[in-house]
Structure 1
Amino acid sequence: MAEAAAKSVLGTISQGHHECPICCCRFIDPKVLDCLHSYCLNCLEELISSQQPKADEIHCPVCRRVTAVPDTGLQGLPNCYFLSSLVDEFNKQERLIGGTLDDTCTCEQCDEGLEAVSRCLDCDGNICQKCLEMHRKMKCTKKHRIANLDQRRAEMPPTVGRGNDTPKCNKHTNQEICIYCQTCKILACAKCAAFDHRTAEHEYREVADAMLSYRRDVREILKRFDKRREEFKVADDSLTHARNRLRIKVARACKDITSKEEEEIAKIQNKSRLLRDKVTQIGEERDRRFEEVQKSNRDKIEWAEQIVATVSDLMQQADDFELLDLKPKVMHNLEFQEELEFEQAQQELSFIGVKCQDVVADTDLGVVLQEEKWQLKEEFGEKGDDDGQFQFAGGVACLSNGDIAVTDTAKKQLMMFTSTGEFKTSIGLDWLNNPWGVAATSDDLLLVTDEKYVKVFDFSLGFIRQLAPSQNEEDVDTDSWLAGIAGDQENQIAVADIGRKVISLHNLDGSLITTIPNDMIDTSWAIGLNERLIFANFFESKLICTTYTGDKVFNVNISLDGERVRPLGLCYDDAGDIYVSVCLQDKGGEVHHYSPAGVFIGRVVGGLVCPRGLTFAPSGDLVVVDVFSVNILQRV
């Protein structure tokens, strides 16, 4: 049983590591190309003979890199001693366990149990003499590549491994190699040093010292590659998000087109199809561009990983002399990092929308929006104490019918407006003491943070109940002060307690899911919930994202043109992008756009007074509360 297992292991390792990629048999006299891939000398000779007329160079069958053929021919290529030694050692081990994987085997094509004399490389099986003759007669197999097992056994050389013996100089065969010439980048003996490397421009070192420096250089290069790997991850993530966002926007644009189509179905069905196709085509073209860039980046990192893996294996398995002999090739291969650049996503290409219009005569159904731009669609409200006026508007939420709910901390009111800004109703001191944030659930309940409680109202502002997120309602923590609040499509609720420096996650009935302490929670309205928690710190100008277990996803500074800005509110769009309202020092306020990874993308709108709460309406418009007014922004 143990013998069978040993044979199986030897066979697996042999096939995976010690077989020439060309002939699929164990290496015989392996040679190393400039790309660090190894092949049998005989296989390389057959390969180069098929590459006429350029017989002075050879193309690697694996990576297609070109290696110049030395003046002395393919024999002048570096030997891969460690592969030869390992192949020989495996042969010895096979003989020790009483059998070989290559020596004696039976035919795999017939049931007569005859000894195999050849191996069909296309069928990947050993065949006997009878089957070989049939192979050559049958039309479907007569062109298969056949390897002679007896010939390969006869050609198998003795062990070329050197063990602990110091290698001899190729030029002075009775002299041991003892130095490495840094100038010529070759190993040499004492006579070589005296005759060929004696001039001042030759700098040579002892083999051990040269090897230490060599390994140190390789370690530094591989360490720098780790940074490249991180750059690739950032680029790849940005491209993945851009593609996902593009798909979402394409889907939403198509949905908007379909809605408009239904309004004027009798006149515009054909034009609707044309415009939808145009949006889809642009989306597909951009997605292909993203895919090409992403594939290019992935190909680059895969190519780099292959080089790193090959060099790492070589550094671990080969001895010092062989490594120094291969140093020029190794260092040349490691120069790839100088040209290893990863292309980032062009975020402007990840947006696509549609601006629909009424269709008459031959007018198109709409215009494809290929860049994300915003303009003011509606503005309502003014400073005052009357209904529909504001003293200090802060939080905002939208219901499914487009109605807009706004909290005013100075008037201590929650007010309700239509989607066009017409005042509907409000509630004040009878139910609220100091309202801050407001959020809407998927079933149109309004959640308002009011000092130490979350108060729940229906769509007509009828009071339903109140919750105490800090602890039991009968024993409310005196330090608790609730500020920002957010909900998701699963009706999970996140509440920022700036008094106790925690964010609590709840079910709609108020039951606690988890509590996430964080010292960065401050007076900002900014909090979001979209499979993770995200909030902003006003005083330190930070945008922070954590998991539900409190693990950091990102923590980034919020700045503009090198100057920090103060975040006030935030929300998500349907693609997961983050929109943050900010206050600029003595310059009013703006709304900024960030990726889900916290990377600044651009401005949405400027020229505001002091924007605080913001949210997306069901129509896709962005609703921003700006102290004394409410601004509704639409994409154009």
Structure 2
Amino acid sequence: MATGGITVESFLGKISRDHLECAVCADNFKNPKVLDCLHTFCLKCLREMRIRQDPENKKLICPICRKETHLEKIEIDDLPHNFTLDALVDELYVHQKLLGTTPSRVTCQSCEEEDQTAVSRCMDCDHFLCQDCHRAHGRLAALRSHTTYTLDQFRSGEIVYKSKLREHIPKCQKHLDQSLSIYCNTCEQMTCTTCSVLNHGQHALVGIPEAYDSFKQQVTDLVSKVKNNIKELQDAKDTANMLQKKLDTSFAETKKKISQKADDVVAKIKEEQQKLTQETEKIYKERSETINTSAAQNSNEADHSEQKLADVCSLMAETNRYEVLDLKQKVLFNLRKLTEKTTTVAPEPLSMFDYKEEEDSFGKLVLKDQTNIVPMPRGPLLNQSTTTKDKQLLEILKHSSVSVKKGQWLLKTELPNKFSNANCVGVFSNNKIVALDNGNNRLATFFPLRSSARQFQAIDNVHLDGLTVNRDNKLIALQSPFVKVYGDDLCVKFTPGNGSNAKPVGIAVSKDNIIAVSFEDREEISLHKLDGTFIKLLTAPDVGRYLTFYNNQVIYTTSSSSSFNCLLSIDCSTGTRVLGVCFVDDDSDINPTDVCCDLDGTFYVSWKGYTGEIRHYRYKSDGKTLECNTVIRGCGSARNILITPGGELVVAAGNTVKIYHRVETDD
């Protein structure tokens, strides 16, 4: 059965995908449970999610909105059940079997005979019936009052199947024969008649219909406030956009005035005109960033409020009164949070500034929001001696130079077009760098200096999978399935692991000469002494090619095949996880590759993506939370990274190797 190219099966499938599929397992909901943020997931998915996050933690983080659900007093199994979704999944299953293009054969659910074709359905028994069971409903007095419909009535649309789960009335956990028919406003919970007498004698009790109507009115009032708040946020966004347009106009007119004045001045003072234009652009960019940030914040807050409001309205429209009252506190909490959203409006003076001519100078910028001006050198410029003018120009250039802050990473040098696929680097104690180029099967060494003193050397036909260098300047190479240690004209060769044929993919060495070898397929790390002696195996979920050591811990980023981008560390002594951080990034096209540690205990992580970047992570004052700061952008296809004994940061980036140095003083 199809209309306009749309089949019943495709229509029902779209309903399933859009409304009835769990966001974690991408399958129809099974035993759906509701979190504090009102998002619903399968019970099994929530159990597995808690194991991945932290089984000992008393809170669960929603994978959609990242909000927390606290589990101090309850377990995951005790979370509110979404009976409405259960009913919809049941109805979808029945409709798919009855109304598909090739309807499935429906068997009897009532008799003990196997493989009996069903011809009708009893709405009271909630069973499909074969021909014999259908006749029995007409013969037996106990079943004669039941309502039955033929499958043809369902298929023709004469009767619409509705699941009995929609009529579910929860039972009291203490008195299983009694329904929850009374609501205690004091305790804010539903109760049965017996419990209301025994446990709520002095409390404010009302019937379920009255409690539902009161709650519905509360939701209506809060929805109105949320809508007003959204309007204020949108108005603030529109105001910011208007200010941006005014700022653009002011900027264009100011540049035009400056350019017109500059055209009238001789070429000898072009530097002054350029400096004033640059200062104008700097102020424009700073103010534009402030205004755009205000607009973006208001837009994000409005979008979030609209989405959360839609979730609440959908819940109120599709959920029965018992179920929605069970979620009362969560719904009101979410709505009240939305009413607290505030707008951020950039000051209007930020959109205005101007240029003012002066008789004895090139002119100045007049900032409308303050009295500050940006003056040019004073004096009769066209009548000064050459020496005086040269000094004045040098002073202007000095003050217009780019400022460099302490701790900033700057590109020192790079080796472009020397490599095809540089993906692994090591460093010796004299700062000499060794790089592995898998694309050309080449091993190259060089110093991180300018090109004239770099001493670049290369060895061809070298087939390695990875390398590292220890503090004794021994080169430790991974040549699957072996590990080779080169030093003192000797070579130690051993097979890592513990008797397994799995292929090793990554290697690292500690300051105590403990070698760690990663096995991606087995999700394990093998520890060995420098002579190859096996120490132990560590369980390392989602371990990949890149890993490093710090304080008797193996630290690594999860492999690209992992569901989440994470930074993990394993204690070498106990085998337990010490650090577990999931990176949250809006751009799904970039992912972390390597990690290295600085002497101060902070981490640098390379991110491979469009242009590549290096991010710096350090613990906040609480000693538990990591804060992130991007310190290098545009470093290419960033892969392996390390910090040299001289404090420089080396990045293996595919067709190049880049060396960055850190500014130690304010420039």
The two structures have a TM-score, normalised by structure 1, of 0.47
